[in-house]
């Protein structure tokens, strides 16, 4: 398995915090968000490579971060790779799904993939998700019940049948038809990878990563993993301040 961390966004809503620093490297409790993600990825023995997709503006920041990590040099089998998607602005960005396709092509990936947004701070265990994925033998998304309907409008929302299969999925619905929010962690089988290119070739939206499983669930089985814990999308200065405060209080 290969882990792909999507970190090529420009996080303009977080300015001035992210004018000169990528969002994935903002510190929580003295450590970059990305460090917490890497620690969880390392709990999955099947992951042999971790690919971080950056943009040209912040590529040097991620290279410096990777070079400072001892495990990036010491564990060759689980090596850390930083890719530059070549973009310099919001207007030219490839989008999350475009960056998935870029990573698969550039890193020569022909294995199952774990895809995680680099700006998500979560408290659930990735090894539990991976074990579920192996049992389900299907592509997987992570879901959690959210009672706040206004919050659901800014998330992906899934409808799941009695067998745990995603039957409908919508990104940021104005009228949520379910209370199951989908967060930006996904597992895809090797056989699914060509469908990412097919999705883009059809002219579908390349931006939000949830747009792909929303398209995919209408074509093949996508399983929903109901996680216990929290997942925070660091999207605004207020959200970042709240997360830092929650962490300091013992999150």
Both tokens of 34, joined, read: 């990305």
Q: What are phi and psi of 4, to 5 degrees?
A: -120, 120
Residues forming beta bridges with residue 165, ordered by sequence position: 223
- The low-confidence residues of the chain, meaning pLDDT below 70, are 70-78, 251
How many Cβ atoms from other residues are within 10 Å of residue 129's Cβ?
22
Taking only Cα atoms into account, the Rg of the chain, rounded to an integer number of angstroms, comes to 17
Both tokens of 18, joined, read: 């992210």
Please name which of 44, 129, 61 lies closest in space to residue 52, comparing C-alpha atoms. 61
- Total domains in the chain come to 1
Residue 137: CATH number of its domain: 3.90.550.10
pLDDT reported for residue 75: 53
**Global pTM?**
0.94
Condensed to tens digits (0 to 9), the pLDDT of residues 48-76 reads: 999 999 999 999 999 999 988 755 455 54
**Strand ranges for 1-106 from DSSP E:** 2-6, 27-28, 31-32, 49-54, 79-84
| Run of H or E including 181 | strand 180-188
pLDDT reported for residue 24: 95
The boundaries of the domain holding residue 173 are: 2-248
User: What CA–CA distance (Å, rounded) separates 34 from 211?
Assistant: 23
pLDDT reported for residue 27: 95
Please name which of 246, 22, 48, 205 lies closest in space to residue 118, comparing C-alpha atoms. 22
pLDDT reported for residue 76: 47
């Amino acid at each position: 398995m290969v882990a792909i961390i999507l970190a090529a966004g420009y996080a303009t809503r977080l300015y001035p915090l992210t004018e000169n620093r990528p969002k994935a490297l903002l510190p929580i409790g003295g450590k970059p968000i990305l460090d917490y993600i890497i620690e969880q990825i390392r709990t999955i023995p099947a992951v042999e490579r971790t690919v971080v997709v950056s943009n040209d503006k912040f590529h040097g920041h991620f290279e410096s971060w990777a070079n400072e990590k001892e495990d990036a040099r010491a564990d060759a089998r689980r090596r850390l790779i930083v890719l530059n998607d070549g973009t310099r602005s919001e207007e030219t960005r490839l989008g999350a799904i475009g960056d998935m396709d870029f990573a698969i092509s550039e890193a020569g990936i022909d294995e199952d993939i774990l895809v995680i947004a680099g700006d998500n701070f979560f408290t659930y265990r990735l090894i539990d998700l991976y074990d579920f994925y192996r049992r389900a033998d299907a592509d997987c998304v992570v879901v959690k019940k959210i009672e706040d309907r206004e919050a659901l409008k800014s998330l992906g929302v899934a409808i799941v049948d009695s067998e745990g299969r995603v039957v409908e999925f919508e990104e940021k619905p104005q009228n949520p038809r379910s209370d199951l929010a989908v967060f930006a962690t996904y597992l895809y089988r090797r056989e699914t990878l060509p469908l990412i290119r097919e999705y883009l070739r059809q002219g579908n939206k390349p931006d939000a990563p949830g747009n792909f499983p929303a398209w995919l669930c209408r074509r093949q089985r996508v399983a929903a993993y109901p996680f216990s814990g929290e997942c925070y999308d660091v999207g605004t200065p207020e959200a970042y301040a709240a997360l830092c405060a929650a962490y300091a209080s013992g999150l």
